[in-house]
């Protein structure tokens, strides 16, 4: 039996649960019209929507049950809080492990104190839900009441378990990759784009899961620009969001799951390679040649010569490991004798990480020289 008078704390928790459900769904909807969507893959957007919908369903159910004083909502609230505490503790410990460089009190407050405050709040809510007057409101007076509820609801419990088993089976089937992911082909239209043209890349990719497909992205010249949108069962389309000027040259790859395509070169209009000043990039050296996970950095050096002053030397790189990626672009350091150097940090990279890089040089006469795209893979041993 429940009592008619609802505790104020339960009312507050119900309102917070309702607001939380609105925030989960509203936050995703709010991002859709903005540019942020261009930098998220269709795969990650599906994951985000699934998380938001599941969280909203549980929180709305919790809010309704708390307002009505339904017994099952007390159990649901306790289970959700225990799960949140476990996940929060795990996430906090991992987060603390990445903050060893924080030394000043001002830097420590935000990353260290706030997670602990959140943990205390969870603990206070758990303690509050076990108070006698709160349990009485939900019709749970003694421990024997829980046993009585279970005995009277055997059929309901069996039905719920069966439904959950079916849902779990569907999820396992729907979210489990159906086979190895393979990038079958990549095509670009138009093949020879002119300045201002809309450039689209179509990638045919096999594998992935029935519900999510695969996390496919297009990365070009040291950055990731938007998502590859699914247009068919195994085809993904990417359109560059901005037109390029005449003479633009980019290099790009398609990543899908743990696979990365070969390198493709995009040239817009007339890309001039004048050799009037004999600009050249030679003697490209990678040390070590076969880097391992114990390597702290891979050092790249190149000899760059020209009859006029070198104005700019740019190094672009991309890193891929399973479903994660990273990229960078910046100047190379000159030693003053025509050799330019750039280290690629690898101390935190795992075995199997693939790194692509390319060097571009420009002199004061406007000439440009570029190298092919080089690649190495980190291994456990040489």
pLDDT tens profile 280-324: 999 999 999 989 888 888 999 999 998 889 999 999 998 887 666
Does 231 or 302 have the greater pLDDT score?
302
- Around Cβ 290, how many Cβ atoms within 10 Å? 12
* Overall average pLDDT of the 119-126 stretch: 89
Question: What confidence tier does 39 reach under pLDDT thresholds 50, 70, 90?
Answer: very low
**pLDDT recorded at residue 12:** 94
Output the average pLDDT for the chain. 80
**pLDDT recorded at residue 358:** 93
Cα 131 to Cα 125, 143, 208, 343: the distances in Å are: 10, 13, 48, 60
For residue 186 the two structure tokens come to: 């990549």
DSSP per-residue string spanning 281-296: EEEEEEESSS-BTT-S
* Overall average pLDDT of the 171-188 stretch: 78
Q: Write phi, then psi, for 142 (nearest 5 degrees).
A: -125, 170
Most confident of 97-111, 166-180, 237-251, 352-366: 352-366
CB contact at 8 A, 319 and 375: no
Total H helices, total E strands in the chain: 8, 18
CA distance linking residue 129 with residue 136, whole number of Å: 10
Which has the minimum average pLDDT: 206-220, 241-255, 304-318? 206-220
pTM for this model (two decimals) = 0.59
Cα 314 to Cα 116, 197, 346, 361, 364: the distances in Å are: 44, 26, 20, 6, 15
CA distance linking residue 153 with residue 187, whole number of Å: 59
């Amino acid at each position: 039996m429940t009592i008619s008078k609802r505790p104020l704390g339960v009312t507050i928790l119900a309102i917070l649960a309702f607001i939380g459900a609105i925030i989960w769904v509203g936050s995703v909807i709010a991002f859709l019209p903005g540019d942020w969507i261009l930098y998220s893959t269709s795969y990650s957007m599906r994951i985000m929507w699934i998380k938001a919908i599941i969280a909203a369903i549980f929180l709305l159910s919790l809010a309704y049950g708390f307002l009505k004083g339904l017994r099952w909502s007390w159990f649901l609230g306790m289970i959700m809080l225990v799960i949140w505490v476990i996940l929060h503790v795990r996430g906090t410990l991992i987060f603390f492990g990445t903050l060893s460089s924080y030394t000043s009190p001002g830097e420590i407050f935000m990353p260290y104190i706030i997670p602990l405050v959140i943990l205390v709040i969870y603990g206070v809510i758990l303690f509050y839900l076990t108070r006698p007057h709160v349990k009485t409101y939900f019709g749970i007076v003694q421990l024997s009441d829980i046993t009585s509820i279970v005995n009277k609801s055997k059929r309901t419990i069996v039905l719920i378990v069966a439904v959950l088993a079916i849902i779990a089976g569907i999820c396992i089937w729907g979210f489990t990759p159906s086979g190895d992911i393979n990038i079958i082909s990549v095509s670009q239209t138009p093949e020879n784009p002119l300045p201002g043209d809309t450039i689209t890349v179509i990638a045919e990719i096999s594998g992935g899961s029935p519900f999510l497909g695969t996390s496919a992205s297009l990365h070009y010249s040291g950055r990731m620009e938007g998502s590859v949108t699914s247009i068919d069962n195994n085809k993904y389309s990417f359109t560059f969001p901005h037109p390029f000027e005449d003479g633009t040259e980019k290099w790009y790859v398609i990543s899908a799951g743990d696979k990365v395509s070969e390198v493709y070169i995009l040239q817009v209009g007339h890309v001039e390679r004048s050799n009037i000043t004999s600009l050249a990039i030679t003697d490209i050296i990678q040390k070590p040649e076969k880097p391992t996970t114990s390597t702290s950095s891979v050092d790249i050096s190149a000899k760059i010569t020209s009859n006029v002053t070198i104005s700019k030397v740019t190094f672009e790189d991309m890193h891929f490991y399973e479903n994660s990626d990273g990229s960078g672009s910046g100047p190379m350091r000159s030693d003053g004798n025509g050799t330019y150097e750039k280290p690629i940090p690898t101390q935190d990279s795992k075995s199997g990480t693939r790194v692509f890089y390319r060097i571009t040089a420009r002199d004061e006469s406007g000439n440009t020289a570029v190298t092919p795209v080089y690649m190495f893979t980190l291994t456990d041993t040489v």
